[in-house]
A and B are shown apart, each in its own frame.
Chain A
């Protein structure tokens, strides 16, 4: 059974810092890995999707990497802003195209 772990559970940084969120998964036979953002009381917004054959994806100030063999992914946020404050969720889709298994998220607070 796939298990996804996110570290740290919470992170507080001053505006302007670069930061890294970590995600690990136990079964390396994955179809893709997705990073989502969730604001309080809202649904999930897709940030980046990395296919199993890819090593990284970039969107603006966000960069996500994938090391399938070691079961790890990182989300790098450059020059953080208060608007980046949210919970970031990592999710893995197992091979064969099925459902997503989620980590419990990292709650990020960026202070002005």
Chain B
């Protein structure tokens, strides 16, 4: 596609429910990133996929958070047993990967998650 696509754009859920957020990166981009932006806070790194390498999961805040990337393209971020502190905007970005040497990231519009 022309840009990074994320869905849903808005999600309201009840505490304790599981949610899945989807990211469709720019075609041909090998690197994919998930960030979280909470109200009044900066962007917090969650996870990074680069090609077929093992993902960098060092930013995941707890074991309730997980992400996968199927076929080197679409990625799904799953939050289990959601808590109110999970309420935030979840942003996905992609880049051409290390081969392109520029490191420029392109972001989607984000998925706004509200946990009641």
Binding site for B on A (CB under 8 A): 31-32, 34, 36, 42-46, 49, 51, 89, 91, 93, 97-105
Contact = CB atoms under 8 A, between A and B. Distances in A.
A37 B71 CA distance: 31
How big is chain B's contact interface, by range?
20 to 34
Given A43-B91, A104-B41, A104-B42, A99 B33 contact: yes
A31 B31 CA distance: 16
Contact of B105 (A51, A100, A104): A100
Contacts of B107: 36, 43-46
B42 A31 contact: no
Contacts of A34: 103-105
Residue picked from B33, B104, B108, most chain A C-beta under 10 Å: B104
Interface of B: 4, 33, 35, 41-43, 45, 48, 56, 59, 91, 93, 98, 102-110
20 contacts: A36-B107, A42-B109, A42-B110, A43-B108, A43-B109, A44-B91, A44-B107, A45-B107, A46-B105, A46-B107, A49-B102, A51-B102, A89-B42, A97-B98, A98-B48, A99-B56, A102-B42, A102-B43, A103-B42, A104-B42
A89 to B, nearest CB: 7
Given A32-B104, A51-B102, A101-B45, 9 more contacts: A31-B103, A34-B103, A43-B110, A46-B105, A46-B107, A100-B33, A100-B43, A100-B105, A102-B35
B45 A49 contact: no
Contacts of B105: 34, 46, 91, 100
B17 to A, nearest CB: 24
Contacts of B104: 32, 34, 46, 49
